[in-house]
Structure formats: structure tokens, C-alpha cells
Structure 1
């Protein structure tokens, strides 16, 4: 099996078979791009390794249609929910209250489960879904004998905060009672996201550390018109979805304003969720600096990551995977609110010499950002060795590990449930 190509469609489409295995992936997607991009990478990898299967992604992402999926993968978009500035959730578009929106999402998810009848289900991050919306579907899946997998990124949050989030929802009980497997898309030696939760012995034997999810350059498409600075060495600056990335972008721009001798130019990609006001303000400042250019949103960011000489990023899970996959010297400026996920990951990665980390004093309550501090980091960045020189074993084995772990359910030409039914009839 080919495990490295995760984004290339086959030359010829595999013949359709209604009895072939089926996979359902759930992604609640309340903020940013991380969840849908992770689920997309897994889905594309599974159909690359098992071309006869079908995969449906259930997602609340408002930009899911911007992404490219392999043959055999489709998606169902449920009404979007977003986290507001006060930390509460609300509908993204609908003029409904949150309770009615969650009820609608719950009904759609359950109906997809009933109709699609998956053999394998991969739940991204939230064991019972947003506000428990997945519980009715999970009950159906248990009765039907589906294999239910919880997929977790390497870092969720500090243990005490994670426990507070999960203990009222039934998520911790679900680890023991509902899930057959818990895949952690990282390395145990870097971080153990469930460490510190109570009753570890009840689910510890289900945990499998896969390694990080390696990314590939997307398949050829009509040529993109990228800004002129991408024709030579440049720094890619990416805040992920951009909803909370204004700080790092402001700091980078101010560094170029304060120090015009920074050698490499930079391309800043705002992301789809940055506010129109902040984007306009940044674009006006960038227009006055010959070494800076910008883009709004690039769904195939891997193309730019592969082309860049080095990267400045906030350090979300997917961006971290891309930095490792394309072996780019990187400076991570992690956020610390509303959770410490990015800061924990950045500190562990810096300790292993995979990346450099620079903390934002404005986020940490330590004063204003100094443009010359960022300028010094940008001067040093192109001279940094790439992550591969840290020689961390099994670092990027995540996608092949997931494919191998699900081989018993997906490699057969006919669904396991169909085989079991036939065997019962014969006997």
C-alpha cells in the first residue's frame, strides 16, 4: 500500500460496490480550520489505501466546500456554530437559538448514521459531540456493531481544564463505555493528552499513539497566480484560520516597519476568519512595505508551505504537521487563550529542537510587543536547521498507522457486517 500520497486522486476510479466498507468521520468545527483539515487528511489517506471504500465527513465548517477531496470521499454540512467573544456558542448563520440549532444538528447526524450505516466511525476530538449532539447517533452505532474510534490531536489542553470541560458532558464515561479505540495523532514521548484524567485504567489499553499526520503537496490544478515574492525565497506567515491571528500578523508587519534590513520578504496569508476590518488595516500597512505581500485565503496552503523557505505561524496542529512534512525552519508564536494547546505543543517541540518558539508578551500580560524582537527572530529564522535534523523516530507515521489500525475493517472487499450475516444464514 502507498502511504505517502494522501492528496492525489487515482488515474481511474474504482468500480462502485454498495457492499464495500463505509467510514463516517464526525467533525464539530466551531472555530478555525483545524478540525476539517485533519479529517480531510485522514479521509483522503484512507481512500488512497483502500480505494473501494466510501467515506462521509459530517462537518459544521463553513468553508468545507473550498477543499479538495479524493474519489470516494464526500461530506454532509450541518448548520454551523461559532464560539463568540464571550466564550459562549451561537449559530453561525441561522436565526435560531443555540438549543434549536443543536437539536437540528443532532437530527441530521443521526439520520446520516441511519442511512449511511458505517462500519467505522472516527470522531474528531469531542467524545460526545458538541453539547452532546452525537449521543443519539453513538447509541445507534453501538447497537449496529460499528467500530467507534476517537481521534485526538497531540495536545488538547492542560489536564485540569480538560477535565472540567469533559466531566459534565459524559465524555469521560464515553471513553470507557462507547469507544473501541482512541487514536492520538502524535507521539507519547512528546505529550499524553489524556494524562491526568480519572480512571485511566478503564481506557488506557485503547490508546494508540500514531505519530503526526504527514501532508503532501496537493494534486495538480489550474496554475495559481501567487504574489511576485514567491518566485524567490520567502517567509510564509500563517495564522491558520485567522480568527485569532491578528497579534502575530501585527507583530510581523511591525518588524518590517522597524527594520527594513530583514533579508527575506514575507507573504502573509490572513485566513478566512480574520475580520474584514483587521484585514483592511493590515493590507494598507503591507502596501507600504516592498518586502511584504498578502493573500486572503488559500485552501491548498500546502502549495505555499512547500514553496516557502521558512515559516512563521501560531502553531496549531495542522500547521505544525505541515511544517514537519515539508521540513521547513519555523518560528512558532503560540496563543495562550482560550486554551494552552498551542503553547504546550510549541514548548515540547522547541525542547526537541524541531522549531523555535517566541512568546507574545501582549498575550502573556507582560507588556507590548517589541518590533525589534520579532525582527531579530526573522533575521535568524532562515539560518535555522530544518526539523528533520532533530531525528525524532516515527514522527510522521500517523496516516499509515491509522490505515494499518483499520485494515481488518476496510481491506475486505465486502463489509464485515454483510459477511457475518451471510455466515449466519449458511450455518
Structure 2
């Protein structure tokens, strides 16, 4: 018989959030925002984030939130994967990750499980954990961003992974962190009515300033008007940064300085090459990485970014004029989001023409940017209600759920 432990009367709920991605910061930062929202005002809630990110320890979490790091994996240019650090094959690494996730579920005994983006996880690694959580009566939620990819790519990808079957078998609810009027990420699927009824469009996730100040001093240019140029994680931001730097090199009219933040995943050689160019220009400065980028964005006069989900949420939250330079490969997610946002008057966007990034076109866009309309000038009902909507849903569930059963460290 398993050894049973009485439930702590002060423990309202335990929540586990799975964030599969290692490359980039998007999934981790979204999971962090959700975790911090769930424990805000709920001091007796505990949240564990499971992530393969090597930089998760650099981020600030509220009291009640902790994390378990699983071995990282990296997606290669040809679509294959390899382990980030371990000397083992990807299948063996995925099995190891799955074992850790399943053991975490068995030990932590979550009352709610939130899976970010991938219904079956990386190579199906969460399925065993979902079986255990579902058998115990946990609420299973899929959280997805507003846009994942164009339907012609997303549908076959989900068919290959068995994602729709997993939705039907495991998931009680689907949270879409966006607005239905902007985009319906699951519209291409012929989902049954009972699945459609589980979808809630929360609105975008509002972001706030970090509670603790950044210990490292910011560059001097941040003491006067400046443009923040951020490539997010940086692993795929080289083209955008090159285009902005080239614009400053080509057009002397650009007098508002720019602070360029590379991101933790940009290759060291590329950072070095960019730094050599930046050092030669009086209006450019750079940082390698800032885990509290919200502070810099709040200070900035305007923002240039690729348009990933989290940066877009920050642009909206801090009401900054923004120029979006979306990535178009390997996914069209950022491009689709930028087109919709520009249509609503939230941002402006620029894309290369005929495979060419004209420095003078970028310079003209940068010259217009400081005087551009702010996102708050556009009236979009519910735009930034995401965090509040998640918190309200969670509070209602706490009020109406069945009392938690005894937790055990052994399998039932």
C-alpha cells in the first residue's frame, strides 16, 4: 500500500506548467507570466514549471513558484533535434525527459496541469504524465498563443503528433492567449462541438515591471530618449539586427540612439561582429541579455522587435510605438500577427522585398517611429485581459472544485 499523507489544510492547490521549448524565450516567459498570475493574491497556491530552458534561473518568480529543469534539446536548421549538452541520442533524451516529467507529477501531485502549446509534448513526452494526472482527477488545460502557424503547416504537424486525439482524450479546457476577432488558431481543424465549447479566448497577457530593480547598470543612452531593439532570445534575430544597424550606418538623419539587445541564444561570433560595427557608431549601444527587459521597454521611446508573442504583449502593456520586423521562416506566426496588429493600428511593420533588406527603407521607418501612434490609441475591447481572465478562471475553479485527495509519494 502506498504511504498516504494528509492534505495540508492551508494548501489551496498545486499547479504544474509544462513548457517544452529549450530554444528561445517565448514559451518560458509565457509560462512564467501565467505562474506569477496564478499565485498573485493566492498565497497558498504552489506552481512548478517544467522547462528545458538553460536560462530559466535568470528570471524572477513570485513566492509560490519554482521550477524543474529537464535536459535541453535544440532544433537544427534542417528540422531535426539534438540534445543541448548531453552526449546521448535525441530519442534517449526524450525518454529521460519524459521520465522526469512523469516522476514530478507523481511526487508533486498537481491538482491542475497546464501544457503550453504542444498537446502531446516534445515527441509525446508528457503522455505518461497526463495519464497519471488524469487518473487522479487533475484538471488538464492546454494553453496556446494567439497564432501558432499557417493552417497548411499546422494541420499536418498536429495530425502527425496525434494532437487532436490528445485534445479529445485528456484536455478539460483550452486557453487561447489572444482574441478571437484577431485570429482563431484552431479554426482549420474540424473539431467537435464539445471541444470548441472548451475554448476560452483570454485576451493578451498583460505584463508589468519587475518587483526588484536590475542590479547591473543600463547604458548611458537610456537616460535620454532611445529606441529599444530586441531580438527576443536572439537565436533567429540576426537579420533584423543587421538591418537596423545597416540603417544607422546608411542614414545620418537617424539621431535618436538605439540600444540593441542580442538575446542569450545569439551565436557568439555574430555578437562579436555586430559589436564591432556598433562600437563605430555614436548612436548605437548594445547589451547581450537582460532578464528584466520590461524595465528597458518601459524606459524606451519606441521599440523595434521581431514580433514574437511575448514581446508583442510587452509592447501593448507598456504602450510603446513599435516597428515589427517579423520572421517569415520556418513559421509565419510572427508575420500573421504583425499583419493583424498593423491592420488594427497597434503597430507598424516592415518586411524585406525580393529577398533584399534595403537600409534606407528601414531608416525611413525608424525616422517615423517615435511619432507613430501608440497601441493605446486603438480601441480593441479585451485586448489585454489575458492575465485577469486566467486569474478569474482559476479562482472560479478553486471555489467549485472537489476537495483535493490525499497525496502520496508512491504509485496508486
1:416 aligns with 2:403: yes
1:62-119 deviations in Å (ceiling 9; x for gaps) = 1000000000000000000110121111111100000100000000000000010101
1:406 aligns with 2:388: no
Match 1:48 to one of 31, 40, 45: 40
Which has the higher mean CA deviation after the structures are superposed, 245-254 or 45-54? 45-54
Match 1:368 to one of 349, 356, 367: 356
1:154 aligns with 2:146: yes
CA contact (8 A) 2:38 2:394 kept: no
Residue 305 of structure 1 is matched in structure 2 by 297
Match 2:380 to one of 386, 392, 413: 392
CA contact (8 A) 2:13 2:46 kept: yes
What is the CA–CA distance in structure 1 between the aligned matches of 2:23 and 2:190, rounded to whole Å?
Answer: 28
TM-score (norm 2): 0.94
What is the CA–CA distance in structure 1 between the aligned matches of 2:91 and 2:402, rounded to whole Å?
Answer: 37
Which has the higher mean CA deviation after the structures are superposed, 316-325 or 162-171? 162-171
CA contact (8 A) 2:352 2:358 kept: no
1:288-334 deviations in Å (ceiling 9; x for gaps) = 00000000000110000000000000000000000000000000000
Secondary structure class of the residue paired with 2:161 = coil
1:134 aligns with 2:122: no
1:379 aligns with 2:371: no
Number of aligned residue pairs: 400
What is the CA–CA distance in structure 1 between the aligned matches of 2:164 and 2:293, rounded to whole Å?
Answer: 35
Query: Mind listing any 5+ residue stretches in structure 1 that lack a counterpart?
Result: 1-15, 420-427
Residue 409 of structure 2 is matched in structure 1 by none
Distance apart, 1:391 and its partner CA:
1.1
1:220-279 deviations in Å (ceiling 9; x for gaps) = 235431111100010000010000000010000000000121131000000000001110
Residue 254 of structure 1 is matched in structure 2 by 246
Match 2:81 to one of 86, 89, 94: 89
CA contact (8 A) 1:218 1:302 kept: yes
TM-score (norm 1): 0.91
Secondary structure class of the residue paired with 1:272 = coil
Instruction: Give the alignment of 1:22-421 within 5 angstroms.
Output: 22-221=14-213, 223-361=215-353, 366-410=354-398, 416-418=403-405
CA contact (8 A) 1:121 1:147 kept: yes
Query: Mind listing any 5+ residue stretches in structure 2 that lack a counterpart?
Result: 1-7, 407-412
CA contact (8 A) 2:50 2:70 kept: yes
Distance apart, 1:406 and its partner CA:
1.5
What is the CA–CA distance in structure 2 between the aligned matches of 1:398 and 1:271, rounded to whole Å?
Answer: 26
Secondary structure class of the residue paired with 1:57 = strand
